[in-house]
Amino acid sequence: MELFDKCMAVIFAHEGGYINDPDDLGGETNYGICKRYFPNEDIKNLTKERAKELYYEHYWNPMRLGNIWTKDSAVLEIFDMGVNAGKKRAIRMAQKIVMTATDGVMGPITGTAIDQYHGFVEKYKEARRAYYRDIAKRRPKNQKFLNGWLNRVETTHL
């Protein structure tokens, strides 16, 4: 739980509080928890504690980040990307870098490959930047979020 708590401090710093931007595909959002994916939650009145529970249950556990043993910074990068852009996308991005099967599942083979990959975190940051630039280019309404996304990549560290 200690690593999860450290990661959550970064996630909460990135996600902030309540937002309802019509250009955000997630819709109404609080602490990064959005109405689109959690339609039964009272987003406007969501507590930080409830958001943390949702992150643990719907992101941390399903992403199986415990299969990465030696690189806490890699865990944070993948977790943060999963929160921001989707769990499977985040894991597939890591799998492409370490050249394991790109099935979107963080199994022991992928975890070990990440542990053994020298320079993984910087390579993953590069892939995140490229992803964000690409979606801003493909969807012009996303352009206004690009600087925030790029800043998010730069400030993701323990």
For residue 27, name the pLDDT band (cuts at 50, 70, 90): confident
Distance, CA of 66 to CA of 108 (rounded, Å): 9
Which residues constitute the domain of residue 80? Answer: 2-154
pTM for this predicted structure: 0.93
Q: What domain count does the chain have?
A: 1
Report the CATH number that the domain containing residue 59 is assigned in CATH: 1.20.141.10
For 57-112, the pLDDT digits (tens) are: 999 999 999 889 878 999 999 999 999 999 999 999 999 999 999 999 999 999 99
pLDDT bin (cut points 50, 70, 90) of residue 122 is very high
The per-residue DSSP string of 16-54 comes to: -S-B--TT-TT-SEETTEETTT-TTS-STT--HHHHHHH
Both tokens assigned to 22: 């019509």
Q: Percentage of residues in the chain with pLDDT exceeding 70?
A: 99
Which two three-digit tokens encode residue 9? 């401090």
Tell me which of 140 and 48 has the higher pLDDT.
48
